[in-house]
């Protein structure tokens, strides 16, 4: 099933439908947009017909100078059975040759009053968001001091309970149980909640609770960029856990690597405070303050001084 169709951006940007209504449900497979100036000049060897075609003042003013035969021929070749739409910007007059060719091939011809560059930018952003690679992860996504923290771990380890405590401490819930993630850029992951369970938390013994109803609109948000992953696991006495924090583990989601911290769970550990501090410490590291590295450097200096005294 196509992620986005011509109808989606037609409705999103309130465009005017001129002709080709039969093709309004055509699928869009790429976020790239074409301005077919060179095609209107007659060169169709590399014509990207699968892209949305954008005609602005430059293309249409050149088109107006062509002969009647050339005008008809160029528009017939511009309208193919896979072209999602042809959009006229700046509210310019639509050539009759385009309307006729579009009707024959059922290519939607749309019009906007926006300037070409501005509309192209907005449409590209919309398509990239809709066509971005996506995945779903079992976990909880919370916004902690502006840091998007994805809490993962086996079922029953206490992810939702920890998220509830974080919400009580003033942080914001994005998604519980299932986090839908899309890669909007090479290194940008954005997490959202499925519509069915948005704003809901499942707490064993209590059942389903509505975080927005209980704590207010300030306790939730619809999406958040994922910056770090906290993996909760039951304490394993045979496993060696990082005690300094020098080694930075990474987790790959789609094509993006995200900082990952493993936190062992055992009675008496306040997980919400640990995760809250982990988020603050991550922010400090990004600002150039690394407590673990500073301690190691001081320790090395003390050891060197002791060696000199000997």
Residues involved in catalysis: 138, 159, 177, 243
H-helix or E-strand containing 179?
A: strand 178-185
Angle between the 96-105 and 68-78 helix axes, to the nearest 10 degrees?
A: 40
- Which residues lie below 8 Å from residue 295, measured CB to CB, with a gap of 6+? 244
The tokens of 171 are what?
A: 């942080």
3-state secondary structure of 150: strand
Q: CB–CB of 174/190 below 8 Å?
A: no
* HEC per residue, 35-53: CCHHHHCCCCCCCCCCCEE
224 closest CA partner among 253, 263, 182, 163: 182
Gap between the Cα atoms of 131 and 127, Å rounded: 6
């Amino acid at each position: 099933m196509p992620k986005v169709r011509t109808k989606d951006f037609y409705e999103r940007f309130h465009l005017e439908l001129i002709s080709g209504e039969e093709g309004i449900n055509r699928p869009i497979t790429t976020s790239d947009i074409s301005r077919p100036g060179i095609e209107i000049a007659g060169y169709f060897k590399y014509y990207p017909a699968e892209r949305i075609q954008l005609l602005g003042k430059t293309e249409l003013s050149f088109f107006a100078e062509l002969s009647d035969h050339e005008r008809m021929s160029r528009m017939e070749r511009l309208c193919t059975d896979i072209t999602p739409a042809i959009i006229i910007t700046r509210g310019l007059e639509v050539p009759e040759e385009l309307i006729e060719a579009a009707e024959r091939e059922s290519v939607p011809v749309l019009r906007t009053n926006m300037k070409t560059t501005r509309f192209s930018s907005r449409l590209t952003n919309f398509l990239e968001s809709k066509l971005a690679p996506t995945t779903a992860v079992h976990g909880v996504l919370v916004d902690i001091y502006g840091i998007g923290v994805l809490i993962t771990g086996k079922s029953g380890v206490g992810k939702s309970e920890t998220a509830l405590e974080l919400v009580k401490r003033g942080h914001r819930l994005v998604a519980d149980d299932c986090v839908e993630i899309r890669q909007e850029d090479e290194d940008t992951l954005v997490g959202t909640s499925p519509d069915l369970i948005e704003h809901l938390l499942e707490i064993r013994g209590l059942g389903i609770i509505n975080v927005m109803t209980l704590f207010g609109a300030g306790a939730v948000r619809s999406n958040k960029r994922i910056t770090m992953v906290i993996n909760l696991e039951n304490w394993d006495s045979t496993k060696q856990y990082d005690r300094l924090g020098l080694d930075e583990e990474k987790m790959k989601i789609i094509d993006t690597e995200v900082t990952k911290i493993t936190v062992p769970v055992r009675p008496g550990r306040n997980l919400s405070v640990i995760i809250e501090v982990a988020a603050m410490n991550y922010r400090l590291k990004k600002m150039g303050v690394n407590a673990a590295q500073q301690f190691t450097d001081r320790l090395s200096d003390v050891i060197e001084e002791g060696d000199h005294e000997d």
